[in-house]
Chains A and B, each alone.
Chain A
Amino acid sequence: MTVREDNETDTPRSALLAGARSVAPFLAGTIPFGMVTGIATKAAGLSAEAAIAMTLMVFAGTAQISALPLLTAGAPVLVILLTAFIVNLRFVIYSATVAPYFKHLPFRWRLLLGYFVTDTGFAMFMRRIQDKPDWALRHWFFLGGGMILAVVWCLSAVLGVLAGTQVPPAWRLEFAATLGILALVAPVVRSRGEFAAALVGGGVALAASPMPMKLGLVLGAVAGIVSGALVDHFAKRHA
C-alpha cells in the first residue's frame, strides 16, 4: 500500500475519492461475481424484473446465491430468511469492528454507513484506519468505498440478468449458483476451525436433508458454527 500525502485526503470530497480508489483493484472480482449472481438468479426461474429488483434490494451476493436453490425448491420464507441471516453474519463482525469509529456521527450517517458494510470496503477501511486512527474524515472514506462497490455490483448483476435471458435452460446454469457457493467456501476454510465448521456444516445438512422445510440446512449451519468454535477452543488450549 502506498502512503499518500495528507493534503490529498483533507476534504470530504478527497476522502470519498480515496475510499473509492482503495477498493478499485477489487472491482475485478466484484464484476464477474455480480454477473454470475445475475445469471444464476435468472436461471433459477425469476423474471428479469424480479431478478433485477432482488439484486438491487438485497445487495448481498452470497445471500442471494444461497437463497436461489431454496427459492426453486419452494422452501418456507422463514427458512430462506434464516439462511440469509446466517450467511451474512460476517457483516455483524465487520459492523461491530467499525462501530467505535462512527459512534460520534448523527443517526442518519450511521444508518447510511451501515448500508455500505461490505467485505472489501471493510478490509480497506481497517487498513487505512491503522495508519490514521484519529482521521476526522474517515466516514467519507468508508462511504466512498461502499458506494463504488454498490454501484458496480448492481450494474454487473443487471448485466448478468440480461445475459441470462439469452441462455437456454439446457446449459444448466442454475448449477453455476451451487458452484459459486462452493467457490465461496474455498477462501474461508483456511484455519482448522473453519475447516471443521464447513465439514460438520455440510455433513449435518446432508444427513438432515430429509427434514421438512429445509430445516436440515439451518441445523447444519448451527452445528458447523459450534464445531468451529469448539475446535478453535481446544486448539488454543493445546497450543
Chain B
Amino acid sequence: MSIGGWYLWLVVAGMALVTIVNRATLIVFAGRFNLPPIVQNSLRYAPAAALAAIAVPELFITNGAIDVSIHNAKLIAGMVSFGVALVWRSTILAIVGGMLVLHALEWLLK
C-alpha cells in the first residue's frame, strides 16, 4: 500500500505551515499581543489530551468495532508499553517491549 499524490503533499505542506505558525507567531509578533493567562494555562493540557485522543482509539478499535477482550493484542501490548514508559521513562524500551508483546500475543492467539 502506498500513500502519495496531491493528498500527501497537501498534508505535508499544511503540517509544515501549521507547525511554523505554532512555533513562530508569538516570537515574530513579540510584544504586540500576549495570550491571556487562562488560555496559556489551558494550553498546558493540549499534549496530554491530543496524544491520548489519537492513541486510545487505535488500541481499542479492531476491524471497525471496539474490542475489549484478551483477543485484542493491540490493547494489551499498548497497556504493557504504556506501563513500561511510565515506570522506566524510556521511549525505546516502551516501543520495543510493546512490539514484542504484540507479536507474542498474536502468535499465541492464532
Seen from chain A, the residues whose Cβ lies within 8 Å of a Cβ on chain B are: 29, 32-33, 36, 44-47, 50, 53-54, 57-60, 62-64, 66-67, 69-72, 74, 77, 80-81, 83-96, 98-100, 102-103, 107, 110-111, 113-115, 117, 171-173, 175-176, 178-189, 193-195, 197-206, 209, 216-218, 220-229, 232
Contact = CB atoms under 8 A, between A and B. Distances in A.
B18 A95 contact: no
15 contacts: A33-B91, A57-B16, A66-B54, A71-B8, A85-B21, A87-B46, A89-B43, A95-B27, A107-B28, A176-B99, A185-B82, A216-B57, A220-B53, A221-B49, A225-B49
Given A57-B13, A85-B22, A175-B102, A36 B45 contact: no
Contact of B19 (A84, A179, A216): A84
A53 B41 CA distance: 34
Contacts of A182: 51, 55, 59, 78, 81-82, 85, 94, 98
Contact of A178 (B10, B45, B47, B58): B58
A183 B95 contact: yes
Contact of B41 (A72, A98, A115, A229): A229
B47 A179 contact: no
A67 B40 contact: no
Interface of B: 1-4, 7-8, 10-16, 18-28, 30-31, 34-35, 38, 40-61, 66, 74, 77-78, 81-82, 85-86, 89, 91-92, 94-95, 98-99, 102-103
A103 B46 CA distance: 26
A176 B3 contact: no
Nearest to A98: B27
B2 to A, nearest CB: 5
Contacts of B99: 171-173, 175-176, 179
Q: Most A CB atoms within 10 A — which of B24, B31, B51?
A: B51
Contact of B3 (A44, A96, A202): A44
Given A81-B15, A186-B89, A224-B48, A202 B26 contact: no
B15 A84 contact: yes
A151 B101 CA distance: 34
Contact of A176 (B56, B59, B95): B95
Nearest to A219: B53
B78 A50 contact: no
